[in-house]
Chains A and B, each alone.
Chain A
Amino acid sequence: MHDNSFLARTLHRRSFFRVAGAGAAASALVLAGCAKEDTITPVPTNQQLVIGKADSVNFTVLNYAYLLEQLEAAFYDKVVTTPPADLLPGELAYLTDLRDHEFIHREYLKFALGSNAYDASFVTQFVFDFSSLTLTTRQGVWTAAQKLEDIGVAAYNGVAKHITTTGYLNMLAKLASVEARHAALAHEVLQAGSWAAPIGATGLDAAKTPIEVVALIQPFVPIEISTAYLPTT
């Protein structure tokens, strides 16, 4: 395991990351600064990634979107850094655009969240785990992109109603349709005419609750995601 990985660090810091909400993590950071890391005794607790805050549904939803954009950004970054050998002409350009868009989305949400970002006080960012995906073939890469983009679309469609201010709602809506365009492309490159796959019998694209989405993305996140503050509908 790489020394910089989140899990390696947390073997030492486990007790400080039981709650990763910004407030709790920030106070943990102060404590961490006071103690010698080596003297911390690992505590065998169930470590969790806590998305959002009890007292702000808006920051909770923005953090949830931020985690999804981080996931997509990390995915495309990995793919563009080590692209499969059998990509067709034009596909690396598409993947590079997708990476750029997701980096921009990630930083946009991170900037909007500021100190309210769930990871604002993390000493080391965790590393997403894509070992369940086949990223050595174009088939594998685009299949994974379809999955992640379709999840992203359904996540935005399902969660936006919980936002309580129109400013944040408009922010998410600007991203949501770009994710749907990404999703359509990821379907098209593998099979022409498959862009509509998730659209149901009433002509509506999919919507999923945060709980449903967390279950789908958990395999890519090396820490159990807590759904404690996420909306249940």
Chain B
Amino acid sequence: MNILKLLANLAETNPEQLEQSAPRRAALESLGRFSAKALAAALPFGLATLPAQARTTLTILDSLDLALQLERLQEALYSRALAVTGTFFPADPTFRASVVAMQRHQQQHIVLLTDAIVSSGSTASAPANYDFTGTKNGTQPALFADVFTDFDQFLRLAQLLEDAGVRAYKGQVEYLSTNDFILQTALQLHATEARHAARIRVMRKQRGATVKPWPSPTDTSITVAGKTDIAYAGEDALQQYLPDFRPVPFQLLPVGFPGSTVLTQGVPEAFDEPLTLVQATALLALFTY
């Protein structure tokens, strides 16, 4: 198949003709009704009128579903950790309290996202089965064999999933841009995830790990090549580009200080990078079966 011919064919296709099944279309049309519920009270602004072009809006539902799956995964991780009896959590009571708060936030996010999906007339996907050791129910070697007995291992997985959650939301925002209400809500969820990630990282640092509150090239790696490393793929980018593809010449801009490592550490730290839906889904798959 000639790729250029394929692209030409795609370019000639009217996006309206790419609409999918009738139930999906109906769901989209009613997505606009999703402000009357709980969210409206929390966020005092109205829904933007949905554009007629359905293709973009279908992606909104796909984005919401990805977010829901990630939030459920995180909620289950915290829920199981909090259910562990004995001395799993350290003596510092703020550690457990922080995980309690994070679990509560994830529950709230699940309610919010499910409401958004259901209010639109669509159906939330079924919850998956989770295996946080990463063995996929005993069918492959473990990634986090002692996740609920070794608190540091639990924190490493929590960091991985929170950082990836931030990146996954970031990867979806551009597909939400046709709906101001959903876009803003997603960014607020995104910021909450970033606070979670920073707190988890600070907890790890307090327990002796080499890690900063933001992903840094100086962090000790917590990933397995070919598996969990997808969570940080591209995160340490040394280069940023403008929308017109011009690189930002940080080496020529007044960002540096004598003797500092601003170009090799500061720049990658200063930007959180997006994950695509495919990358985020691959990460989810490591802990679901």
Contact = CB atoms under 8 A, between A and B. Distances in A.
Interface of A: 97, 100-101, 103-105, 107-108, 110-112, 153, 156-158, 160-161, 163, 165-171, 173-185, 188, 192-193, 195-196, 199-207, 233
A193 B97 contact: yes
A199 B105 contact: yes
Chain B contact residues: over half helix, strand or loop, or mixed? helix
Contact of B194 (A110, A111, A160, A177): A177
Contact of B199 (A163, A179, A195, A202): A195
B250 A184 contact: no
Contacts of A206: 188
B273 interface: yes
B192 A204 contact: yes
A92 to B, nearest CB: 13
Contacts of B249: 111
Given A178-B214, A205-B195, A169 B271 contact: no
B92 interface: yes
Interface of B: 38-39, 42-43, 45, 92, 94, 97-98, 101, 104-109, 111-112, 166, 170, 173-174, 177, 180, 183-185, 187-195, 197-199, 202, 212-214, 240, 242-244, 248-250, 253-255, 257, 260, 262, 265-267, 269-274
A162 B62 CA distance: 22
Contacts of A199: 105, 192, 195
B216 to A, nearest CB: 8
B184 A158 contact: yes
B162 to A, nearest CB: 10
Nearest to A233: B45
A173 B255 contact: no
Nearest to B257: A100
Contact of B254 (A107, A112, A196): A107
A72 B97 CA distance: 30
Contacts of B180: 161
25 contacts: A104-B250, A104-B255, A104-B270, A108-B240, A163-B177, A165-B243, A168-B243, A170-B170, A170-B174, A170-B274, A174-B170, A174-B271, A174-B273, A174-B274, A175-B270, A178-B194, A178-B269, A181-B213, A182-B213, A182-B214, A195-B199, A196-B105, A202-B39, A203-B108, A203-B192
